[in-house]
Structures are given as structure tokens and as C-alpha cells.
Structure 1
Amino acid sequence: MIVRHTRRADGPARAVSRLAAAVFAVLAVTLTFLPVAQAQPTVPRPDPDPFYAAPADLGARANGDVLRFRPVDVSRYGNADGWQILYRSTNSTGGPIAAVTTVLVPRGGVDRPLVSYQAIINALGTDCGPSHTLFTGGLQEAPVLPLLLTRGWAVALPDHLGPNSAYGAARLGGQVTLDGIRAATRLPQAGLGRSPVGLVGYSGGGMASAWAGALAPTYAPELPIVGVAAGGVPANLNELANGLGTAPHPLFGLAFAATLGLEREYPNRIPVSADLSPEGIALRDQIANDCSQEIIDAGANRSALQVAKNPAQVESAAARSVFNENSVEFYPGAPSAPVHLWQGGADVLAPAESVAATARKWCDAGTRVDLVVLPGDHGPASIEGVPGTLAWLDGRFAGVPAPTNC
């Protein structure tokens, strides 16, 4: 495979990237060394807004069915109409869940190109998802939305961590994303019934996007997905667990939160709560409904050894198995739509080797993959990759053959 490299401008985000990588490292160690036992995970408190409540007949509905919807004011992002949709999806163990996506549609015209934008959500509280942060000022990628709308593209932003805010469960994010697209195209008021669809996301949002692309041929083959753009994708979670320490870290809270998020999705396979120390239980309860900055503040400079009751110095096969199941590199399927991958060449959060291995696997399956490596690490690539990603999506919506460097 030939990989395109582009130049970058240096920036202070390099230090942030190194911290983020270390945080994920602590997550890996926490899951690896906790002994297996029965546990009852925490779940977020129910949203007081009745719109989010699952209907009684949820199990009888099909994936992507619109359960309810309401108009929302999205004028701060452009001349667009907006709706929030509660829809049926499926969790990691095959059970029915109710999920939410927020749809923004430029006024004038129907069947506009639809971009499903998977935001970065580092949180355990349900009010940290885009359906809330779009209107509270907490969505860090908000400046991108006017760029998409002014191109005439509609945008759907799913709360892709699901109703339990299962931070870390990447395959779940792919399923919730695909069912959110189904719901958006099934809402008559949005006028998107025949819209071509593109997927976009970075980091955690990139994981959800990559998973959605890989799952689509079997999970949602009817969707007219014309392109998948995913940046900074941690494609192999186990790779991050090898040879990493347990020293206190300023961003340990995010690692601990992701541990708890995976426990919410796999309570019988990663029963973390049963093995927490009193300090760990207190921290778990403190951040059970928190967003990113609150979690960072609460967990600053702690370590896995402090929150674990009696860490066993043996690897947990169950934890490794769950990591593999949420690592898109190991998923046997491949996207049928063209793929644009971008990342920093020195990105230890999304190591170049695992992303390149995923790209090679998809190339071998016949997917047209365009892999772009930007010098530097995770932070700068999130910004520097935007112009190229928008240009790549322009081509897919215009029907131009996708570039490939397979």
C-alpha cells in the first residue's frame, strides 16, 4: 500500500495527544489486571426529559424505526431546520435500545446529501451527548457544522454511546450510527428519503464511523453510503495494552470512565465494580453522570492501582476478548463504500501500524481506501485533516470515482 503523507504545522496539541495516549494506556491496564468477579455496574440516571424514555413496545420495533420526534431550533448553526429523533437500535448483546440522533437540514430542497457526524463523546452522563451539547455549547466540533451546512449537506449527529453512555464500546457506536441514519431517512419531515450518505468522525467518533462502515454491508445493506471518512481511529485496543504502566496520570479519570463504560455494556464479562477499592467505588460514584472535564478533574493524578481492590498480576482473557470485539482491525468484514482514513504518523493513541493493517485488510477485500498520514500526533491531525476530508466527501457526493492508494 502506498500512503500519502502531507505536511503539518506544529502546535501545542502534541502534548495533549501524548496525555490522551497515556490515558488509554491506563484504561488497558485497568481492564487487564482486575480479577474476574460478579459485579453490578453503575448506569446513568434517567434523563428527566420524557422524550428519551423508551416506549413499552420497543422490542417489537425494527432497527431504525422512528419512535418519536420533535423539532429543535438549530439556527445558531445556519439556515437550517432541525429535529431530534428517538429510534430503535441494538446493543452489543443483541438487546433492543432506544437511541437519539439530532438532524440538521439546510432549508430549500429535498434529498440533500446526508453526513452522519460521529462526535467525540468522552463521558458517562447521557446529557453529554450531542442531543444536549449542541444546545449547551459543549460540543467541541460545533465549528465544523456550519461548514457542512453551507455546502448544502444535511447533518445527523447520533448519541452513539447509547442510552447507558457506554463510553469505550466501539462496535455499539457503529450500530447506533447506522440505525440513526435509517431513522433520519425515514422521517418524512426531513426530506432525506433518497439522500446519499457519508460518514465522518475523529478519534472516538472515528471508531464509531469505521465500525459503522465495516458493519454496514451486513447490518444495514440498504443504506446508500457513498463514503466513510474516519480519522485518528484506535483500530486495535489490545495493542495499547501491551507494555504499559500504572503510574498516576493527570487524565486517569477518562481511562477509568471508559472502563466503567465497557462494564455497562458487558457487565458479565468485565465486572469491574466488584474489584474496586473504597477509593475506586467513591470515584466511580462521583463520575457516574459526568462529562469530560468533570471526569478529568475528579480522576487527576490517580492510577489503576489506587482504584483496584487487589489487582491480580495475570491478564484477564475476558477483558482481552472484549477489547478484540471492539477493535475494528479484527472484525472480519470490510466497508463496501470507499474509505478515507487520516491520522498523525506519530499518533500513539491510534498507532499507524494498526490503522495501516486495517487499511490493508480492507484493500484486500476490495474496498477503495485512501490512507493519509500527517506528520505529528493525535491533536494536530484532528484539525489538519478537515480540509482534505471535506474535499474527499465533495467527490463522493458528486459521484467522482474515489481515490485509492491500496
Structure 2
Amino acid sequence: MLVQGFGIATVLVAVMAAAPAAHAGAIYPFPDADGFYYAAGNLGGAQNGDVLNVRSVPSPWAGATVWQILFRSTNSAGAPIPAVTTLISPGPGPRPLLSYQPFVNSLGMQCAPSHSLFDGSLKETAAFPLLLARGWAIAVPDHLGPDSAYGAARMGGQITLDGIRAVKRFAPAGLADSPVGLAGYSGGAMATGFAAAIAPDYAPELPIVGVAEGGVPVNPGKMAIEAGDSPQPLFGLGFAVAEGMEREYPAEMRLDDSLTPFGFWMRDRMANSCVDDIISVGANHHISEVFHAGAENDPVLIRTFHENALEIVPELIRQPLYEWHGGNDQVPLNLAQYTAGRYCAAGTPVQFDIIPGADHGTAIFPGAVNAMNYLADRFAGLAPPSNCR
């Protein structure tokens, strides 16, 4: 499903009520059974982007070599975390490096890209042979982090940047001097957008030459207000965001204080689910079924969501940007246009395309073709187009 961003819409009104906590905090996913995902003993002493472990894995793409790299990154609280990126390369570099952030809208560790790239569940891999044929290397980070904290977009940006650092520091790939492009759609665009926006401060050494993002949910809070309390087919995705954010912000997102009995059941039921199951379990439910009425204007909760809203954060995308959006997208077009306008006002060259008649699901493919051609031109050093007004 390509509707991750719209599912975020129900979250901001999931608020803290006055009832005492019935359960003991966030529900975390089952640990990955593969020991590769656990940090080596030097996590605390490592720097962001340092390689902790590497393994080669069989490649589904003819002629490509695939590595998985465990590296050090940082969570939203500034604590060190292990993270993984999968590097797919048609041969040793130097060559253009594309960091691609998939639209992962899941709570179970088995749903991470480093698994779904190889089990057929990550549909975006259909485009990878075309990218490899261009001579590009592709890095695909598990940008939801070691707790599958769906919705924590700032952390996703940090993991994305540290994954690029790790790939560049992995000498056998030969990518130390490669130019970098960023791309993603929907939830993947949230991580992509944050990676681009925070890069000048967080990873200023990375040579990011262009960014491509589509269907970006730039402000989950406003989407939540507009959604109201009506039953929604994609309600499960919004509830899953609340659950993922609680994992990343356990002090701020104390869902125990606001969940109804059915809400407790849903949180437990979804705790290890991938997207299709999340959508099925939550289909056509609504906010008042799972949350008690409460202080939806709680300043701590609002601040937490604002920290992960591209429309609001002070950091701006400064690299050349291609952005696309469906004309009938469930993710608000006007908010995406306003945010792109902030970048234009700061002097960023932005090419913003609207795909006529397309909704969130159907806009991805026509826009993605334009996005890859746009990044190819940036890798070639051509001047970026702009339709800023």
C-alpha cells in the first residue's frame, strides 16, 4: 500500500486523558531473530556513520553486489542506536549513490527494508534494475530504526544520513567520493525530506546534489484535525503512527493514559504487524473508539509532532529539489505546496509537479520516472530547473 502519509492523519488528536495508566508504557516489537541487527560492543564509542558490522548477501539483481551494513546512528533523544542499510551496487565506485527511503509503514521488525527487499513485499524494487542500469549504487536504509518507530521522521532523516556515511566509509564499495541523491515517496519522503533539511547541520560533509520526494505528509497534526472522528478505511495506519511515536517518545506519548479497552487491544494486536495487516485491523474504525476524549492541545504532545513536521521545523531543504504530488491526493496538496514555497523563499531551486487526477496511490509511478531523470541531471552537473514563483 502507498498510503502511509494519509494514515498519519488520525494521530494528533490521540491525546492524554486524566485516567490512570492501565498498562506499562510503549509496546515494542519482537526483537529480530537475526543477530546481525544488534550492535557490536563499540556502539557507545563509535561516531555517527561508523561501520559496526558488514555482510554480503545473495543478490536478486543480476550483476549487482549486495551488502548489509550495521552502523551507528542517533535516536530522537540523542542516544546512540544501531541501524542498518542495504547497499546494492553494479560494481566498485566511484559512481552516483542514490539513498532511497521506501514507504515503510509498519511496526514489526520483519517488515524493515533489509528484509522486504528480498521477500518480494517491497514493491519499489521493481524499479531497481533501471537504476542499476544507469550505473548508480543504491543504499536502502531501515529508516524506522531498531524499534520500528513508524512516524518518527526526524530520526528517519538521521538514520538516512548516517547510512550514507557508513556506505562512504565502507572501502570495498569505492563510494567515498560519490555524489549523493536522495529519494522517497510518502512515509519514505518524510525521512528523505528530513535528511535533506538537517544535512547542513547533521552531516555537512555529504555531497548531496539533489533531492526527489513525492506525496509528502508535511504536517501530520493538521491532517489529524481535518480528519476528525469519522470512520476511515486507513485508520489503522494513523493508529500505528501513534504506536510508533510512543516507542520513540515514551515520555511524551503516554498512550496508556488515553486508550480505551479497544485501544489497548488494538495496540497489542498491531505491535508486530506489517502494513497490510495494520490496514485490515484498523479499517473503518475511528478515534473515539480507541482514545478517550482529552487535552488534544497538550503542549508536550504538540511539540513532539511539530519536531517531525516538515512544514514547521526551522530547517529548510537547501539542495535542488524535485517534488511531485497527485492532484487528488489524500495527503493535502496545499500543505505540500506551502512547504515547498518556504524552500523557494530561501533560494532553493524547486521543481514542483502536480500529477493530474492522481491520488496518493497512483501518483507514485509517473512522478518517480520524472524524479529519476531529475536526479540523473543533478549527477551530471546540469543546472536544476525551478518553477518557484
TM-score w.r.t. length of structure 1: 0.90
Query: Offset at 1:296?
Result: 1.7
Alignment of 1:6-405 (within 5 A): 21=6, 23-31=7-15, 40-74=25-59, 76-107=60-91, 109-308=92-291, 310-312=292-294, 314-349=296-331, 351-376=332-357, 377-405=359-387
Cα distance in 2 between the residues matched to 1:161 and 1:20: 14
SS in 1 for 2:172: helix
Fraction of identical pairs, as percent = 48
Is the CA contact (8 Å cut-off) linking 2:14 and 2:296 kept in structure 1? no
Cα distance in 2 between the residues matched to 1:178 and 1:166: 17
Is the CA contact (8 Å cut-off) linking 1:36 and 1:270 kept in structure 2? no
Cα distance in 1 between the residues matched to 2:253 and 2:63: 46
Cα distance in 2 between the residues matched to 1:269 and 1:102: 32
Cα distance in 2 between the residues matched to 1:156 and 1:37: 45
Deviation sequence 1:179-211 (CA, Å, 0-9, x none)? 000001111111111111000000000111111
Aligned to 1:3: none
Deviation sequence 1:290-340 (CA, Å, 0-9, x none)? 1111112222232222222x3226533222222211111212122332111
Cα distance in 1 between the residues matched to 2:296 and 2:273: 31
Query: Offset at 1:34?
Result: 5.1
Is the CA contact (8 Å cut-off) linking 1:36 and 1:316 kept in structure 2? no
Instruction: Note closer, same or farther for the CA distance 1:319–1:313 as it changes in structure 2 (3 Å cut).
Output: closer
Cα distance in 1 between the residues matched to 2:127 and 2:5: 22
Cα distance in 2 between the residues matched to 1:86 and 1:314: 39
Cα distance in 1 between the residues matched to 2:70 and 2:83: 6
Is the CA contact (8 Å cut-off) linking 1:36 and 1:271 kept in structure 2? no
RMSD of Structure 2 on Structure 1 (CA): 1.9
Cα distance in 2 between the residues matched to 1:314 and 1:397: 45
Query: Offset at 1:48?
Result: 1.3
Cα distance in 1 between the residues matched to 2:334 and 2:20: 34
Query: Offset at 1:380?
Result: 1.8
Query: Offset at 1:243?
Result: 3.8
Deviation sequence 1:342-363 (CA, Å, 0-9, x none)? 11133231x2222222222112
Instruction: Note closer, same or farther for the CA distance 1:57–1:20 as it changes in structure 2 (3 Å cut).
Output: closer
Query: Offset at 1:234?
Result: 0.8
Cα distance in 2 between the residues matched to 1:34 and 1:399: 54
Is the CA contact (8 Å cut-off) linking 1:78 and 1:150 kept in structure 2? no
Deviation sequence 1:75-95 (CA, Å, 0-9, x none)? x22310010000000111111
Cα distance in 2 between the residues matched to 1:72 and 1:237: 37
Deviation sequence 1:36-64 (CA, Å, 0-9, x none)? 97661111111111100122331211000
Aligned partner letter, 1:251:
L
Query: Offset at 1:247?
Result: 2.8
Query: Offset at 1:35?
Result: 5.5
Aligned partner letter, 1:297:
S
**Unpaired runs of at least 5, structure 1:** 1-12
Is the CA contact (8 Å cut-off) linking 1:158 and 1:180 kept in structure 2? yes
- Stretch of structure 1 that moved more, 110-119 or 54-63: 54-63
Is the CA contact (8 Å cut-off) linking 2:323 and 2:351 kept in structure 1? yes
The number of equivalent residue pairs is 385
Cα distance in 1 between the residues matched to 2:154 and 2:17: 23
Cα distance in 2 between the residues matched to 1:189 and 1:197: 18
Instruction: Note closer, same or farther for the CA distance 1:34–1:249 as it changes in structure 2 (3 Å cut).
Output: farther
Aligned partner letter, 2:8:
F
SS in 1 for 2:12: helix
Aligned partner letter, 2:47:
A
Instruction: Note closer, same or farther for the CA distance 1:65–1:323 as it changes in structure 2 (3 Å cut).
Output: same
TM-score w.r.t. length of structure 2: 0.94
Instruction: Note closer, same or farther for the CA distance 1:63–1:84 as it changes in structure 2 (3 Å cut).
Output: same
